[in-house]
Amino acid sequence: MLLAAVLGLVVGFVVVAQTIYATTVDHLKEFGTLKAMGAPNSYVYRVIIKQAAISAVIGYFLGMIVSMFVVHASQKGGAAILLPLPMAVGMFFLTLVMCVGAALVSINKVTRLDPAMVFRG
């Protein structure tokens, strides 16, 4: 069970990292423009981290809605699934840490972004 949970976490991390990375690459021109306007790297990092945190919060609540349905349905079956409040809260913070950690890959991409690219049409 623990192995399945860890695998789930790893897969989730990779999927989130790829999604945020793809979004960042799609918006490189905007990030380049921000840097050309004079935004320090810290400002750009905040944008990416905020994006990751918002995704984490929305994803967590959507996931919890589905989980609550599954937990509720399992009560009628032979093996009830338990989701105690401390676990739910812990999952929230884990989700947040996972998403923000996954955003670090994108931050690296943007840090190395050449702002002169804004002049290339």
Partner 1 sequence: MQPAIAVRELTKSYAEGSAKVAALRGVDLEVRSGELLMLVGPSGSGKTTLLSIMGCILTASSGSVQIAGREITGLSEKELPAVRLQNIGFIFQGFNLFPTLTAAENVELMLDLKGVPAAKSKKRAWDLLEQVGLGGKQDSFPSDLSGGQKQRVAIARALAGEPQIILADEPTAALDSQTGRNIMQMMSELAHERGRSVVIVTHDSRVLGFADRTVKIEDGLIAPSEVHEPAVPAGLLVHGMSQPTLNLA
Among 41, 87, 97, 101, contact with partner 1 (rule: CB under 8 A)? 41
From 28-36, 73-81, 83-91, 96-104, give the range in contact with partner 1 by CB under 8 A: 28-36
DSSP string, 26-92: HTHHHHHHHHHHT--HHHHHHHHHHHHHHHHHHHHHHHHHHHHHHHHHHTTSSS-----HHHHHHHH
Q: Is 67 in the site for partner 1 (CB under 8 A)?
A: no
Handedness of CA 112, 117, 118, 121 (dihedral sign): negative
Q: Is 110 in the site for partner 1 (CB under 8 A)?
A: no
Among 35, 48, 103, 113, contact with partner 1 (rule: CB under 8 A)? 35
Binding site for partner 1 (CB under 8 A): 29-30, 33-41, 43, 115-116, 118-119, 121
